[in-house]
Structure 1
Amino acid sequence: MVIEWDAPITMDDGLVLRADIYRPVGGGEHPVLMTHGPYAKGLSFQEGFAFAWMQLAREHPEALEGSSNKYQSWETPDPEIWTRDWGYVCVRVDSRGAGRSPGYLDCFSPRETLDFKNCIEWAGVRPWSNGKVGLTGISYYAMNQWQVAALRPKHLAAICPFEGASDLYRDGVRHGGILTSFWIRWYPAQVSSVQHGLGARGRINHNTGEPIAGPETLSPEEMARNIADLPGQHLGNRFATDAYFAERTPRLEDIEVPVFSRGNWGGIGLHLHGNTEAFLRVGSRQKWLEMHGDTHWTEYYTPGGRALMRRFFDHFLKGEDNGWDREPAVQLSVRLPNEKFLTRKEGEWPLARTQWTRHYLDAASSALVAEPGSDASVEFRGFSQGHTFYTPPMLKASEITGPVAAKVFIASSTRDADIFLSLRAYAPNGRELLFQGASEPNVPLAFGWLRASHRKLDAARSLPYRPWHPHDEEQPLVPGEVHELDIEIWPTSIVLPPGFRLALTVGGEDYDHQLPGPLVPKAPPQYGGIRQTGCSIHVHDVSGDRPPEVFDGTATLYTGGKHASFLLLPVIPAA
């Protein structure tokens, strides 16, 4: 490869961002794959995210073959595969204020998105470019693809967001209006730790010998002035319509380029809903959805996962007639117990043959039943796991694949309540069926959340299986009065064998699977080592957002009669 370190890209306001460019030898014009973000392009995958690298090497050694892995960087393509072997130019840009790029660091801001657009247009007219730029990458490098694609850069030809939220408020920061602490832990661990200006105080790029967050070394006071207060931004902006979130939420309908959206059933706290929702809403006439399992990063690096992306980009960036345009719109790794998957291609999402099936909650029997029962109720404390309802054992194999929703009738002793829904599965021996999640090893089927004061629906955008809350105002509860809540539960997929049961837990705090044994696995150390409970790092424990005097009251769940609470499941009939 020909490697150009710290290539300058001048923005419209005169600030210069820095990019590493990996080009095939021999000159000529080539398609471009670009990433742009705050994780420091010079930080190696192996050093910055050793826990993930070791797991990938241990469980999928084939993902590391065919490369020296010297240029691997977290959540970005390996240039030894994409450039040396497959003929793409890989461009990694440190976003404003991060890594080797100076400036004010403000994640997902309009300024950062405009910078990304400028970088795309710059790459599209380089002598080594064929004029077609594709976007790829995981997580942050997927989320900002939705943002910049909505600006319609002239040279943008295709995007492949891999496990990336498309609505910062709903998918990532405030689930159902409830603030998650993930970003507050993530910010110092992954962003300010590589802020531009650390210089000699930071890490070194082992390929260049240069500081990854330099070259200059700024004082702590200067650096504090150059970075946004993200925890304050998240705590201080409570509604989706607040300017902070509104200007960071793309109009997905404005995206016109081909889209290959790749999501993970196990991304139930951040990276799942964004991929399915964006697939439905983007304006692109050419769009595909792929859903898989395993960890957050695995299928991006495995040979099979890379081959899917290569076919997509070869078709739209190189013009190859490889049959990609004739592929069905949806490819699902349908999940079975014990981390087994059945790959199946479909024509649409949700599946047209879905049998939307109600299971009614019965507080008298703690059951999920086919018809509403008599009036009943059950109380639970606000900060508690709440109450669980079970189906009878399955008489035959049953597939649940698609979006899920619930309607519950709730009263609270206070003016508000946070409702946490957990969709679960149990084996005949009574043991809960747990799965490898995107960011922890034991997750249930799906989660849903709603702050009761955010229960207002947008009737025009709501669907039976996906209620849409505008999150534009607070409507306090009347203590003791019953209120109707429609709650979205993120999509899932499972084929349950005969004898297995489904369950729904309705509670007031994050799910906790309570693994047996004296030791409970910890989250990766950069996220504070919080206990893994099935939610991993996506928990809702910000005290300023959930004052006990409001949210730790007594909640009462009503079922049956005129308060027929129910769970809506996407049942897929056997072929």
Structure 2
Amino acid sequence: MHAPGMIIERDVSIRMDDGLQLKADVFRPADGQPAPIIMTSGPYGKGVPYNVGFASQWKWLIEKYRDVLPGSARDFMVWETLDPQIWVPWGYVCIRVDSRGAGRSPGHLDVFSPRETKDFHDAIEWAGVQSWSTGDVGLCGISYYAMNQWQVASLQPSHLKAMIPWEGAADIYRDFARHGGIQSNHFLTVWYPRQVAPERATGPAEFTADELLANRSDLGKQFRERALDDEWYRTRCPQWDKVIVPFLSAASWAGFGLHPRGNFEAFTQAASKQKWLECHPGRHEEWFYLNDSMQLQKRFFDHFLKKEANGWNDEPAVRLHERRPFSTEFSVRTEEAWPLPSTVWTPTFLGASDNDLTWNKPQELRSVTFDALGDPLTFISPPLEADMEITGPLAAKIFASSSTTDLDLFLTLQAFAPNGAEVSFQGTIDPHTPLAQGWLRASHRKLDTAKSLPYRPYHTHDEIQGLEPGKVYELDVEIWPTHVMLPAGYKLALQISGKDFERPLLAGAPPDPLVNRGSGPFLHDDPEDRPPGIFGGRTTICTGGEEMSYLLLPIIPS
């Protein structure tokens, strides 16, 4: 397909250090003059049209935003990448690379592997020396095309000058495979077999199903065999002290179970001296393409790739969209750091006698017991006496025991209006996502004391520490960051369960119940990982006295 003002080259070969040649599609300005480059590399198929490979997501986007991408015919849209018909006229070369063993690239498919990351590094260096390149390369994309930005940045390719990882997990173990040590099944049962492994992983020739199977690593097998964080996971994670490139990290407020933890961790842990954090609401594929977001992306790249003096260096470090209950309007404000400098870390205490959340420490030791696979416990606060903003990472200290040798904790922060209506927001997939979620397997309770913070416990996940039935253990649970502005009169609630958060299917909800119960598809229900004989026992939560269970809230003064 021809596009005015644009040169399109398909299946351009990029030679790797072992001789294998990856295939890339290149979209560049027709004047042939050198221009800066924005790249992606991944396994979804660089030539699979958005409206074919992800038809339902495309339909949702263009029906909700009929004027999305103004000025573009949307002829070259593919999942989670830039639109060349926008960016090439802006003066950029857009390059999409099929990673090894995927799409039109030959080789063995091994997602997030060191080999794949080295390939990305080599592709960046190739792009930087082409005749139509200024030598300045940027990276920009969503999800997979954000996750591997953290990894390749650790290799410090010389031509990489800036990047925008938009909703990109970073820690393959903690963000992706095992939340709090509990196996997340979405990536085994949905993502890998449906989005990565099908016929797109063909290379330049056609293969049978058996040949395709032999041509890729078994991600599910790798995850299931590795309950602990080992070298295999670590070689698939960034080294934050080596991530020095300028970046804009874009996090979703409601992406629990996949990306936002990585965006926040990157902002706080990476060695980059020039880094910014953007926080937005909405669906996974939505906010990236809205006009305000694209103008933000353009300003960032114009500054770092085109060397324009557009004031970007004066941009505040944090840009967030404020969320209010039952509102679809999201005002923007800026801050200077994350967590926000004005944060007042405030514990709210669990009371077992009345299942309440209270600002006062309960002095008397009490306990409450529930069936781990049965109905959850919910601790509810009194009505808020004043408006309250909660913005930042959260944590909970839970004193608990089990009737078996282990237990899983699923913690969910909720809020309720005076009329009892639950406050929920559009998540990356689920249209009714609660305020925050966190997980912990008690046998993974060991903390890395050097990396842990009061508001962000960091678990080593390097050994199994089983439980003695009936013995109380102190468990520190990381709860992923959130933001909400709650009016006076609303109530907060902390739900504690031994299984995934789930609310009744809402009236009029779409037929797929997995994305309408509060946790989306990011569930933890593999019977091999959670045998009922161990994780279906009785769990006791202790409160008060020396076993003071509490939720730590990041409250922002008005």
Question: Which TM-score band applies after superposition, normalised by the shorter structure?
Answer: over 0.9
Between the aligned partners of 2:430 and 2:69, the Cα distance in structure 1 is 22
Q: Is the 8 A contact 1:97 1:195 kept in 2?
A: no
Report the TM-score when normalising by structure 2.
0.97
Q: What is the Cα deviation at residue 259 of structure 1? A: 0.9
Q: Is the 8 A contact 2:169 2:175 kept in 1?
A: yes
SS at match of 2:399: strand
Identity of aligned residues (%): 51
Between the aligned partners of 1:371 and 1:530, the Cα distance in structure 2 is 38
Aligned to 1:122: 126
SS at match of 1:41: coil
**1:425-480 Cα shifts (integer Å, max 9, x gaps):** 10111111111001120100010000000001111111110001011110001110
Aligned to 2:523: 539
Between the aligned partners of 1:196 and 1:102, the Cα distance in structure 2 is 9
Q: What is the Cα deviation at residue 235 of structure 1? A: 0.6
Aligned to 1:208: none
Q: How does 1:461-476 map to 2 (within 5 A)?
A: 461-476=451-466
Aligned to 1:224: 213
Q: How does 1:89-168 map to 2 (within 5 A)?
A: 89-168=93-172
Counterpart residue identity of residue 257, structure 1: V
Does 2:535 match 1:551?
Answer: yes
Aligned to 1:201: none
Between the aligned partners of 1:567 and 1:116, the Cα distance in structure 2 is 42
Q: What is the Cα deviation at residue 61 of structure 1? A: 2.0
| Partner residue of 1:410 out of 390, 400, 405 | 400
| Partner residue of 1:15 out of 20, 34, 42 | 20
Q: What is the Cα deviation at residue 173 of structure 1? A: 0.9
Q: Is the 8 A contact 1:385 1:511 kept in 2?
A: no
**1:202-234 Cα shifts (integer Å, max 9, x gaps):** xxxxxxxxxxxx531122232221111111011
Aligned to 2:3: none
Report the TM-score when normalising by structure 1.
0.94
**1:524-556 Cα shifts (integer Å, max 9, x gaps):** xxxxx7353111111101111101111001110
| Partner residue of 1:170 out of 174, 177, 185 | 174
Aligned to 1:573: 557
Q: How does 1:386-465 map to 2 (within 5 A)?
A: 386-465=376-455
Q: What is the Cα deviation at residue 195 of structure 1? A: 3.8
Q: What is the Cα deviation at residue 54 of structure 1? A: 1.4
| Partner residue of 2:276 out of 282, 288, 301 | 288
Aligned to 1:344: 333
Does 2:9 match 1:4?
Answer: yes
Moved more, 446-455 or 243-252: 243-252
Q: Is the 8 A contact 2:47 2:78 kept in 1?
A: yes
Q: Is the 8 A contact 2:343 2:556 kept in 1?
A: yes
**1:282-317 Cα shifts (integer Å, max 9, x gaps):** 100000000000111111111111100000000000
Does 2:544 match 1:560?
Answer: yes
Between the aligned partners of 2:192 and 2:201, the Cα distance in structure 1 is 14
Counterpart residue identity of residue 336, structure 1: R
Q: How does 1:248-397 map to 2 (within 5 A)?
A: 248-338=236-326, 339-373=328-362, 374-397=364-387
Counterpart residue identity of residue 231, structure 2: A
Moved more, 92-101 or 214-223: 214-223
Between the aligned partners of 2:65 and 2:454, the Cα distance in structure 1 is 40
Aligned to 1:243: 231
Between the aligned partners of 2:394 and 2:367, the Cα distance in structure 1 is 23
Q: Is the 8 A contact 1:385 1:509 kept in 2?
A: no
Aligned to 1:202: none
Aligned to 1:35: 40
Between the aligned partners of 1:9 and 1:63, the Cα distance in structure 2 is 33
Between the aligned partners of 2:506 and 2:519, the Cα distance in structure 1 is 17
Between the aligned partners of 1:326 and 1:530, the Cα distance in structure 2 is 43
SS at match of 1:61: coil
**1:372-397 Cα shifts (integer Å, max 9, x gaps):** 21211111112234200111111221
Q: Is the 8 A contact 2:106 2:204 kept in 1?
A: no
Between the aligned partners of 1:20 and 1:361, the Cα distance in structure 2 is 56
Aligned to 1:78: 83
**1:260-279 Cα shifts (integer Å, max 9, x gaps):** 00010011111111101110
| Equivalent residue pairs, number | 550
**1:237-282 Cα shifts (integer Å, max 9, x gaps):** 1111x22201111112211110100010011111111101110011
Q: Is the 8 A contact 2:43 2:103 kept in 1?
A: yes
* 1:246–1:309 Cα change, 3 Å: same
Structure 2: gaps of 5 or more residues: 1-5
Q: What is the Cα deviation at residue 522 of structure 1? A: 4.3
Between the aligned partners of 1:522 and 1:253, the Cα distance in structure 2 is 46
**1:391-424 Cα shifts (integer Å, max 9, x gaps):** 1111221100011110000000111000000000
SS at match of 2:330: strand
Structure 1: gaps of 5 or more residues: 198-213, 524-528
Q: Is the 8 A contact 2:505 2:516 kept in 1?
A: no
Q: What is the Cα deviation at residue 103 of structure 1? A: 0.6
Counterpart residue identity of residue 261, structure 2: H
SS at match of 2:197: helix
Q: Is the 8 A contact 1:522 1:531 kept in 2?
A: no
SS at match of 2:514: coil
Between the aligned partners of 1:172 and 1:384, the Cα distance in structure 2 is 26
Q: Is the 8 A contact 2:430 2:515 kept in 1?
A: no
Q: Is the 8 A contact 2:69 2:291 kept in 1?
A: no
Between the aligned partners of 2:317 and 2:411, the Cα distance in structure 1 is 30
Does 2:52 match 1:47?
Answer: yes
